Amino acid sequence: DTGVSQDPRHKITKRGQNVTFRCDPISEHNRLYWYRQTLGQGPEFLTYFQNEAQLEKSRLLSDRFSAERPKGSFSTLEIQRTEQGDSAMYLCASSSTSGANVLTFGAGSRLTVL
């Protein structure tokens, strides 16, 4: 297992365009999380899945953001009608439900909205 994979690593887009990020978690992990990180800040929780069920969404998450995890494997995070304020690093993490919530993060997908 190569860990948590995210694609693309970098995305530059124009304001108003839609973007989609993909996350492949560690295969035996049934929990998957999306976080957003901006410069000088810690990761900010966006949403998380247990298997295919989306169990929680942050109240800060605009309705322009949507996440899916079909079949409980990979996940996608789509941002519609991007705004300059969406520019950030989008981090995906996974964990198992047994024991503590030890998060294994991917390297992130950096979004720049021009």
Partner 1 sequence: QQQVKQSPQSLIVQKGGISIINCAYENTAFDYFPWYQQFPGKGPALLIAIRPDVSEKKEGRFTISFNKSAKQFSLHIMDSQPGDSATYFCAASMTYAGKSTFGDGTTLTVKP
Structure tokens at 90: 């989008």
Structure tokens at 34: 């999306």
Which region, judged by CB under 8 A, interacts with partner 1, from 14-22, 32-40, 66-74, 77-85? Answer: 32-40
Which region, judged by CB under 8 A, interacts with partner 1, from 13-21, 63-71, 76-84, 106-114? Answer: 106-114
DSSP element (H, E) containing 58: none
Helix boundaries (H) for the chain: none
Is 1 a residue that touches partner 1 (CB under 8 A)?
A: no
Is 55 a residue that touches partner 1 (CB under 8 A)?
A: yes
Question: Residue type at 95?
Answer: S
Indicate the residue among 50 and 80 with the shorter CB distance to partner 1: 50
